[in-house]
Amino acid sequence: MEKLTIRVEVPKEFAEEFKSFLEELVEESKTRLLLSLISRSKLTEEDALMLGEKIRHEIAERHGMHQ
């Protein structure tokens, strides 16, 4: 993942409020992007559960916690 830095000059008394606003905006944007990707997915709930189970099993094996 690439990091993006944007520098914005704001009056000192608004700095914390502006920072909070930007953090909320970024989180909301991430959520919208994720929902957009999910809505286009052809993965069924059953497929997702099977994939999750496979990942869980492989992680357990990697850490010596065979089930």
Look at residue 6 and tell me if it is in a domain. Answer: no
Question: Residue 35: inside a domain, yes or no?
Answer: yes
Mean pLDDT, rounded, of the chain: 91
Residue closest to 4 by CA, chosen among 37, 31, 35, 29: 29
Residues 6+ apart with CB under 8 A from 41: none
Domain count, the chain: 1
Q: What pLDDT is attached to residue 51?
A: 94
Q: Are 44 and 52 in contact (CB under 8 A)?
A: no
* DSSP summary character for residue 39: H
Q: Tell me which residue range forms the domain holding 48.
A: 13-62
- Which residues does the chain have with pLDDT short of 50? none
For residue range 37-54, list pLDDT tens digits in order: 888 888 888 999 999 999
Is 54 within the bounds of a domain? yes
Enter the pTM of the model.
0.52
Q: 2 lies in a domain?
A: no
Q: What span, in angstroms and rounded, lies between the C-alpha atoms of 64 and 20?
A: 42
Amino acid 67: pLDDT: 56
